[in-house]
Amino acid sequence: MAPSSSPAFVPLQPLALVLASTSAYRRELLARLRLPFDVVSPDVDESPWPGESPAALSERLALAKARAVSAQRPHAVVIGSDQVAELDGVPMGKPGDHANAVAQLRAMRGRAVVFHTAVAVLRHDTAFEAVRRVPVTVRFRALSDVEIETYLRLEQPYDCAGSAKCETLGITLLDAIESDDPTALIGLPLIVTSALLRQAGLDTLAVHAGHGGAA
pLDDT per position as a tens digit, 113-135: 999 999 999 999 999 999 999 99
Structure confidence at residue 17 (pLDDT) = 98
Give the C-alpha separation, 184 to 193, whole Å.
Answer: 10
Active site residue 125: no
List the beta bridge partners of residue 139: 112, 176
For each of the domains in the chain, give its residue range(s) and CATH number, in order of start: 17-209 (3.90.950.10)
82 contacts 132 by C-beta, under 8 angstroms = no
Structure confidence at residue 15 (pLDDT) = 86
Distance between terminal CA atoms of the chain? Answer: 37
Set 45, 82, 97, 159: catalytic member: 82
Average pLDDT, the chain: 92
Least confident among 127-131, 174-178, 205-209: 205-209
Structure confidence at residue 10 (pLDDT) = 40
Give the C-alpha separation, 44 to 99, whole Å.
Answer: 26
Give the C-alpha separation, 76 to 40, whole Å.
Answer: 12
